Amino acid sequence: MEKLIFKKIIKDISLFLFISITCVATIVWIIQAVNYLDLVSEDGHSLKVYFSFTLFSLPKILSNILPFMFMISLFYVLINYELNNELIIYWINGITKLNFANIIIKISILYFFVQILLTSFVVPYTLDKGRSFFRTSNIDLFSSIIKEKKFIDTVEKLTIFVDKKEDNLLKNIIIKEKINKDQSQIVVAKTGEIITTTNGSQKIVLNEGKIINTENNNQNIIDFSKFTLDLNKFDTNTITNQKTQEMKTYDLIRCIQIIENYRKSELNEKNKNFFKGCAFEISPAISEEFLKRFFAPIFIILIGLTSSLIIISSKDNQNYKLKNFFKFFLGTSLLIISEISLSNTIENLEKLINYFFIPILLFLVIYGYLYLSLKYQRGN
């Protein structure tokens, strides 16, 4: 009987969490996807790259909202149980309130591991996978980024000005290409056309113009009747390098160890690079990312413990709603504390480890309060 009762509460919490997190994640994903439309309209990437990138951002959204939605689910289910007199079934069957609180903590530990799985493995992989679409993408929708009477520098090392544009036909064109530090090229043409070949590559065919080559402050001018500029050799200014949040967890931990050993050597050269994505100058960002993956998820257990405080009071008690509000406020405050903790600069590995005593101390304080409150109720 006891197992059936606990299966029911696990089912109710998980079902409400699934429905709520799906709805909220979808809304957030749609809003975020709209913001990413600039990837098409300004950066010139194809719709395929756009949808692939936005789709792979979904696990990050889930990991960000999971703690808060888990708290909402716990409060909703437990308060409903109390209002519908379902908690009485537990007490009648000999289940103590402390045992009930412990099962809520066990459920929280389950979702703690789910969050660890998301933050440590799924999210870094999907973010890196989404970024990889930019690394392998050329300027698929080049014509969409060109605007009339505007200097467009979305493409790296390339600036384009067009006086008039009708579909892929251009008039009065100025193109500046920076070849290297000391060499650049300016192309001026009366007309031009953006052409997409059968293999998907793009180029601009320019008619009647001049090419001004500049190298070491020396210039030479070449007239042409027809000139073709290959667009596939250019990249957009979209960030394609791997970010810290996209680093594999193994590499992240290895980077922290290397930085700590380097710091102890007292060399502390700020621009020291150890391997791709791991550098001494970004050590605060590395530590922050480590905390996001392993420290922040611990607060899910604290949220579960805080939610279990609901069982201390009955709906017949005075100020029942106000008490539940303060308990909800306490859970929200814990989430805020976890976020604030991540923003602090951590100087060394010892301080990083000390951070993990914060949730342990909070757990002992809240659990101690729960235990003493229930013991006092039994005594009366």
- pLDDT tens digits, 175-230: 888 877 778 888 888 888 887 776 666 788 888 888 888 887 788 888 888 888 87
Query: Is-contact 211 205, C-beta < 8 A?
Result: no
- In three-state secondary structure terms, 203 is strand
Ordered strands of the 183-196 beta sheet: 151-152, 158-166, 169-178, 183-196, 202-215, 218-230
Residue 236 neighbours by CB under 8 Å, 6+ apart: 43, 44, 45, 134, 139, 154, 155, 156
**If 0-12 CB within 10 Å is exposed, 13-18 middle and 19+ buried, where does residue 323 land?**
middle
Token pair belonging to 337:
């504390």
- pLDDT reported for residue 32: 83
Give the pLDDT confidence of 10-24 residue by residue, as tens digits.
899 999 999 999 999
Please name the residue that has the structure tokens 């793009």.
202
Separation between Cα atoms, residue 78 and residue 9, nearest integer Å: 9
Backbone angles phi, psi at 55, to 5 degrees: -65, -40
Query: Which SS3 state, helix, strand or coil, does residue 241 take?
Result: coil
The domain limits of the chain are 2-136+242-379, 142-230
pLDDT on residue 236? 54
Note the pLDDT tens digit of each residue in 215-246.
877 888 888 888 888 776 665 544 445 678 88
In which element (H, E) is residue 223 found?
A: strand 218-230
pLDDT at 329: 93
At residue 137, the pLDDT reads: 55
In contact, 309 and 97? CB cutoff 8 Å: no
Residue ranges in the chain whose pLDDT is less than 70: 1-2, 37-47, 133-145, 154-156, 198-201, 232-242, 266-271, 344-348, 379-380
Angstrom distance (rounded) from CA 5 to CA 87: 10
Q: What is the pLDDT of residue 266?
A: 65
Residue 240: predicted pLDDT = 46
